[in-house]
Amino acid sequence: MAQSDLTRRSVLRRAAAAGVLAGPAAGLLSSCALGDDDSGESTGKYEGTVSDKNPLGVKEDAPLDIVIFNGGFGEDYAKAHEAMYKETYPKAEVKHNAVVEINTELQPRFVDGTPPDFVNNSGAGQIPLGGLVEQGALADLTPLLDAPSLDVPGKKVRDTLLPGTIEAGSFDGKMYVLNYAYTAYGIWYSTKLFEAKGWEYAKTWDEHIALCKKIKAAGIAPWTYQGKHPRYMSWPVISTAIKLGGPQVAMAIDNLEPGAWTSDAMKTAADAWYQIVKDKYILEGSPGLDHKQSQTEWCNGKAAFISCGSWLESEQKAVTPPDFNMSIAPTPSLGAGDKLPFEAIRGTAGEPFIVPAKAKNERGGMELMRHMLSMKGAKDFTGKVSSLSVIAGAADGVSLPFGLTSVTKALAASGSNGFNWIYPVYYRKLERELVDAACGEFFSGRTTPAEFLAACQKGADTIAADSSFKKYKRS
Amino acid sequence: MRHGKYPLLAAFLLPPLALYGYFVLSPYAQSFLIATTNWQGLSSKYDFVGLDNFKRLFKDEYVWNALLNNLWLLVLLPLLTIVLGLFLATMLNVGGRGGRGAVTGVRGSSIYKIIYFAPQMLSVSIVGVLWMEVYNPRGGLLNGALRAVGLDGLAQVWLGDPKYAFWAVLAVMIWANVGFYVVLFGAAMQSVPRDIYEAAALDGASRTTTLVKITVPLLWDTIQVAWVYLAIIALDGFALIHVMTRGGPNFSTDVVGLRLYTEAFGDYKWGYASAIGVVMFFVTLSVTVLSLRLTRRERIEHS
């Protein structure tokens, strides 16, 4: 159906004029939750003059309205970035706002057409990025990518980023999202436990199963997983399949190709992982735990392995015993036929930052991003929150905790063999609901590998057939 | 005085009516409008799609699954809560057999009253978190207790197993609600003339006979109200399930309220979510009307 050109406001005005609606009733209806269609109005953005020092043309005294997700990273890092901005533009008033529920806080502002200038769209209340892009709510960040770096001489911002950063924030070839924290996904274990028992992380699947047997014999469960969020276990399965079949396995899944989940590589990977279910290598009761409870069991030495991203160390800080020394490792190789080496690990830019398309100070929002993406801003971030940033080399010389050091080593070893998949960003529902439920059944031992993959495929097919989801193509 | 009555009434009634209209009725009305659009909730752009959302809803197996769970709750929650509530209220108020012919509760009934009512004072989220720990398959109170008495075989993964998760949640709902109905039924029993119970006791009626033949008929109005309240709670169930299981595992504890929330705040399909809301509005309305109609009986007047 075509976009209705009769806006509700104009209809109401006519109706009111015709005496159909009395004054108060009209006032009641025009304040409807759907918002007012203001497409015809001019936007009135702040614009300054472009110069070498000010490549994005920021208006120097324009206020900057910022909303930060106050979660695992806290808000201090953002305040430091804002202070850097303030140093460059002393006349600008920076309004800092840290909230926990991004969606409930910002949804009315997006509808109203008065969003902030800069948002850290993260946490459980994250507004799905695919939806935001589809509705034209985000500013294209290409000008930022083409602007010179703040403190890396002779380089554009785009040349200072780690590989995959632009792709992870791009929809149909345009970058709308700056994913600022670099995250690796792998299998975690306690170096201390392994040293004490004389175990060594296995590089092939057969050795891994042999090691699991040894671990179980020692009275420890080889595996646990985030129970009520079983999608965490889809990560090692897909990683194993990609290492076997190459990056096109992920490409097919991201592009919702028919049969992507039931490809030979996925079948072999699911069959392999089924071994830990069949042989009861998973900590008893895991399906009934939530992520905090299971990760704590792991920290308490009740299980040897857990699948997680590099946020695990800071998430578990309060309950990790001293000298636990957690390390990340890539998924074991299936065999000599693997297309990618053992060292290949899933690495991706995460923690999304956005500039809304209707932001009054759009240029200021991007300029704050340019400050974040400076070497100084990135080093400060890594030091403050113990997470890597997407700026290449920004972690050098910063002292990092044990787990994060293992992440940097793993990423360096993986190098250009690193891989990623983006379907959870495009289609939140597919991972968070459908694949999640299928993983829960599979790793509780209620479905076979074939049934598991069929359930995932059915989910992907539903999304593919559903015209209410905008489809994105990755290439 | 007469001519001054209406301004005074209006001054008292209009402000609350206006607030109710603005904050309650107008959002309801708007959701009917939104249900006919494909609004995604992040901009002011939307198209009218007629009844497409309702057609889609009709074919959505996840909505049907959630609705089925709600219907099970609708049957089980009021039934079990009312039966348990009546039983406990009887024991607390007229179940005692101590005094010579005097109608009292069992010994220590005032302490039990406090214990039963306690969950009512906790917010739903606290109840949810509390029971998540009780059901924790490792180190949780329930499995711990079962293992302590040698019933290891009965220890389950509870919230992690589709076979038990729904029943585990239902048990929590009953636990959280029954206290209120114990108090409600207890208050209603106080208004029943003592001599009826005394007469029954003298005639040698057992506790069960007293409950079925005397208490239930005399409390029918109250039971009817309880039924409607519990039916409405059963058709919702969102808050507790959102905290405890988020509808899992494998959608076994999903309810319509959670579907609506996920469509709106997870996938930003506000038009579709509103359509679910509209359907739920009519389902709740019909259930309420039906249960009031079906349970209609002649009133018993006792002075």
A222 and A335 co-located in one domain: yes
Question: Is A228 inside a domain boundary?
Answer: yes
Distance, CA of A114 to CA of A108 (rounded, Å): 9
Alpha-helical regions (H) of A345-389:
362-372, 375-385
* A36 pLDDT tier (thresholds 50, 70, 90): low
Give the total residue count for chain A: 475
A435 and A295 co-located in one domain: yes
Which residue would you say has higher pLDDT here, B112 or A190? A190
How far is residue B163 from each of residues A268, A310, B131, B138, measured CA to CA in Å?
29, 34, 18, 18
* B297 pLDDT tier (thresholds 50, 70, 90): low
Question: Is A371 inside a domain boundary?
Answer: yes
Instruction: Please tell me the predicted confidence (pLDDT) of residue A74.
Output: 85
Q: Is A33 on the interface with B (CB under 8 A)?
A: yes
Q: Is A217 on the interface with B (CB under 8 A)?
A: no
Q: Is the C-alpha dihedral spanning A338, A341, A343, A347 positive or negative?
A: negative
| Mean per-residue pLDDT, B45-64 | 91
Instruction: Please tell me the predicted confidence (pLDDT) of residue B107.
Output: 75
Residue-wise pLDDT for B247-295, tens only, equals 989 999 999 999 999 998 888 899 999 999 999 999 989 988 888 788 7
Q: Is B275 on the interface with A (CB under 8 A)?
A: no
Contacts of A128 in chain B (CB under 8 A): 266-268
| Mean per-residue pLDDT, B234-247 | 92
Provide long-range contacts, Cβ within 8 A and 24+ apart, for A75-78. A76/A384, A77/A380, A77/A381, A77/A384, A77/A385, A78/A120
CB spacing of B135 vs A136 below 8 angstroms:
no
- Average per-residue pLDDT in chain A? 88
Distance, CA of A341 to CA of A414 (rounded, Å): 8
Torsion from C-alpha of A124, A130, A132, A136, nearest 10 degrees: 170
Name the nearest CA neighbour of A440 among A310, A287, A314: A287
Instruction: Please tell me the predicted confidence (pLDDT) of residue A417.
Output: 92
A342 and A352 co-located in one domain: no
Which tokens in the block code for residue B260?
């609506």
Distance, CA of A227 to CA of A439 (rounded, Å): 10
Query: With 80 as the cut, is the pLDDT of residue A447 above it?
Result: yes
Using CB atoms, which residue from B41, B44, B157 is nearest to A285? B157
Provide the 10 A C-beta neighbour count for residue A53: 7
Question: Is A167 inside a domain boundary?
Answer: yes
CATH code for position A300: 3.40.190.10
Residue A365 and residue A178 in contact, taking contact as beta carbons nearer than 8 Å: no
Residue A62 and residue A361 in contact, taking contact as beta carbons nearer than 8 Å: yes
Of all residues in chain B, the one with the smallest CA distance to A296 is B138
CB spacing of B160 vs A286 below 8 angstroms:
yes
Q: Is A431 on the interface with B (CB under 8 A)?
A: no
CB spacing of B42 vs A290 below 8 angstroms:
no
Residue A150 and residue A374 in contact, taking contact as beta carbons nearer than 8 Å: yes
| Mean per-residue pLDDT, B142-159 | 89
Q: Is B7 exposed, middle or buried (0-12, 13-18, 19+ CB in 10 A)?
A: exposed
Distance, CA of B280 to CA of B258 (rounded, Å): 12
Distance, CA of A67 to CA of A80 (rounded, Å): 14
A389 and A400 co-located in one domain: yes
Instruction: Please tell me the predicted confidence (pLDDT) of residue A209.
Output: 97
Chain centroid to Cα A11, Å, comes to: 42
> Is residue A193 within a helix (H) or strand (E), and if so which, with residue range?
helix A191-197
Instruction: Please tell me the predicted confidence (pLDDT) of residue A42.
Output: 47
A230 and A257 co-located in one domain: yes
Amino acid found at A269: A
To the nearest whole Å, the CA of A123 is away from the closest chain B CA by 12
| Mean per-residue pLDDT, A268-283 | 96
Q: Which range marks the domain in which residue A304 is found?
A: 183-346+420-465
Query: With 80 as the cut, is the pLDDT of residue A211 above it?
Result: yes
| β-bridge partners, A321 | none
Going by DSSP bridges, is the β-strand pair A346-354/A174-175 parallel, antiparallel, or unpaired?
unpaired
Structural fold of domain B65-254: MetI-like fold (1.10.3720)
Cα atoms in the Cβ-side hemisphere of radius 13 Å centred on A292: 8
Question: Is A1 inside a domain boundary?
Answer: no
Distance, CA of A137 to CA of A109 (rounded, Å): 11
Helices B165-190, B109-117: axis angle to 10 degrees equals 130
Residue-wise pLDDT for A341-386, tens only, equals 999 999 999 899 999 999 999 999 999 999 999 999 999 999 888 8
Using CB atoms, which residue from B30, B43, B248 is nearest to A33? B30
CB spacing of A32 vs B248 below 8 angstroms:
no
Q: Is B268 on the interface with A (CB under 8 A)?
A: yes
CA angle A453, A459, A460 (to 5 degrees): 90
Instruction: Please tell me the predicted confidence (pLDDT) of residue B80.
Output: 96
* A26 pLDDT tier (thresholds 50, 70, 90): very low
**This prediction's pTM:** 0.85
How far is residue B34 from each of residues A127, B37, B47, B270, measured CA to CA in Å?
20, 5, 10, 7
Cα atoms in the Cβ-side hemisphere of radius 13 Å centred on A333: 13
Using CB atoms, which residue from B26, B34, B160 is nearest to A288? B160
Question: Is A321 inside a domain boundary?
Answer: yes
Torsion from C-alpha of A193, A196, A198, A202, nearest 10 degrees: 10
Using CB atoms, which residue from B48, B136, B159 is nearest to A4? B48
Distance, CA of A325 to CA of A316 (rounded, Å): 12
Distance, CA of A427 to CA of A120 (rounded, Å): 20
What is residue B282's three-state secondary structure? helix
| Mean per-residue pLDDT, A83-99 | 94
Token pair 């075989």 in the structure block, residue: B153
Q: Is B46 on the interface with A (CB under 8 A)?
A: yes
CB spacing of B49 vs A1 below 8 angstroms:
yes
Of all residues in chain B, the one with the smallest CA distance to A101 is B265
* A73 pLDDT tier (thresholds 50, 70, 90): confident
Which tokens in the block code for residue A428?
């939140």
Give the domain-ending residue among A382, A408, A434.
Answer: A408
Q: Is B262 on the interface with A (CB under 8 A)?
A: yes
Query: With 70 as the cut, is the pLDDT of residue A338 above it?
Result: yes
A212 and A358 co-located in one domain: no
Distance, CA of A44 to CA of A113 (rounded, Å): 12
Count of domains observed in chain A: 2
Going by DSSP bridges, is the β-strand pair A170-171/A118-120 parallel, antiparallel, or unpaired?
unpaired
| Mean per-residue pLDDT, A53-79 | 91
A441 and A361 co-located in one domain: no
To the nearest whole Å, the CA of B50 is away from the closest chain A CA by 10
Query: With 60 as the cut, is the pLDDT of residue B15 above it?
Result: yes
Of all residues in chain B, the one with the smallest CA distance to A357 is B43
Range with the lowest mean pLDDT among A47-51, B32-36, B66-70? A47-51
Provide the 10 A C-beta neighbour count for residue B303: 3
Of all residues in chain A, the one with the smallest CA distance to B60 is A462
Instruction: Please tell me the predicted confidence (pLDDT) of residue A155.
Output: 92
Q: A65 phi and psi, to 5 degrees?
A: -105, 115
Residue-wise pLDDT for A323-335, tens only, equals 999 999 999 999 8
To the nearest whole Å, the CA of A132 is away from the closest chain B CA by 7
Q: Is A384 on the interface with B (CB under 8 A)?
A: no
Question: Is A53 inside a domain boundary?
Answer: no
| Mean per-residue pLDDT, B164-186 | 94
Q: A400 phi and psi, to 5 degrees?
A: -115, 150
CB spacing of B22 vs A28 below 8 angstroms:
yes
Name the nearest CA neighbour of A139 among A350, A367, A348: A367
* Cis bond upstream, residue B249 (ω within 30): yes
Name the nearest CA neighbour of A289 among B102, B162, B160: B160
Mutate to test the interface with B, among A31, A104, A111 (most CBs of B within 10 A): A111
CB spacing of B27 vs A33 below 8 angstroms:
yes
Question: Is A24 inside a domain boundary?
Answer: no
Residue A192 and residue A352 in contact, taking contact as beta carbons nearer than 8 Å: no
Question: Is A20 inside a domain boundary?
Answer: no
How far is residue A57 from each of residues A46, A53, A305, measured CA to CA in Å?
9, 9, 50
Q: Is A440 on the interface with B (CB under 8 A)?
A: yes
Residue A93 and residue A142 in contact, taking contact as beta carbons nearer than 8 Å: no
Using CB atoms, which residue from B26, B38, B248 is nearest to A228? B248
What is residue A326's three-state secondary structure? strand
Residue B175 and residue B119 in contact, taking contact as beta carbons nearer than 8 Å: yes
Q: Is A3 on the interface with B (CB under 8 A)?
A: yes
Which tokens in the block code for residue A465?
């057939």
Residue B186 and residue B194 in contact, taking contact as beta carbons nearer than 8 Å: no
Which tokens in the block code for residue A370?
């340019």
* B215 pLDDT tier (thresholds 50, 70, 90): confident
| β-bridge partners, A305 | A223
Range with the lowest mean pLDDT among A114-118, A269-273, B15-19, B299-303? B299-303
* B177 pLDDT tier (thresholds 50, 70, 90): very high
Provide long-range contacts, Cβ within 8 A and 24+ apart, for A416-419. A416/A163, A417/A340, A417/A341, A417/A343, A417/A344, A418/A163, A418/A164, A418/A344, A418/A345, A418/A346, A418/A347, A419/A239, A419/A242, A419/A243, A419/A247, A419/A250, A419/A340, A419/A344, A419/A345, A419/A346, A419/A347
A71 and A103 co-located in one domain: yes
Instruction: Please tell me the predicted confidence (pLDDT) of residue A239.
Output: 97
Instruction: Please tell me the predicted confidence (pLDDT) of residue A339.
Output: 95
Instruction: Please tell me the predicted confidence (pLDDT) of residue B96.
Output: 64
Q: Is A6 on the interface with B (CB under 8 A)?
A: no
The DSSP annotation for A70-137 comes to -STT-SHHHHHHHHHHHHH-TTPPEEEEEES-HHHHHHHHHHHT---SEEE--STTPPPHHHHHHTT-
Contacts of A288 in chain B (CB under 8 A): 135-137, 156-161
Mutate to test the interface with B, among A289, A358, A439, A444 (most CBs of B within 10 A): A289
Amino acid found at A335: G
Contacts of B251 in chain A (CB under 8 A): 437
Instruction: Please tell me the predicted confidence (pLDDT) of residue A263.
Output: 96
Chain centroid to Cα B255, Å, comes to: 13
Contacts of B262 in chain A (CB under 8 A): 433
Query: With 60 as the cut, is the pLDDT of residue A11 above it?
Result: no
Distance, CA of A4 to CA of B49 (rounded, Å): 11
A364 and A273 co-located in one domain: no
Distance, CA of A281 to CA of B249 (rounded, Å): 20
Q: Is B15 on the interface with A (CB under 8 A)?
A: no
Question: Which B residues in the span 123-142 are in contact with A, Cβ-Cβ below 8 Å?
Answer: 132, 135-138
To the nearest whole Å, the CA of B151 is away from the closest chain A CA by 16
**% of chain A at pLDDT higher than 90:** 70
Instruction: Please tell me the predicted confidence (pLDDT) of residue A81.
Output: 96
Chain centroid to Cα A423, Å, comes to: 11
A218 and A278 co-located in one domain: yes
Question: Which B residues in the span 220-259 are in contact with A, Cβ-Cβ below 8 Å?
Answer: 245-246, 248-251
Residue-wise pLDDT for A218-264, tens only, equals 999 999 999 999 999 999 999 999 999 999 999 999 999 999 999 99
Using CB atoms, which residue from B39, B161, B262 is nearest to A287? B161
**% of chain B at pLDDT higher than 90:** 51
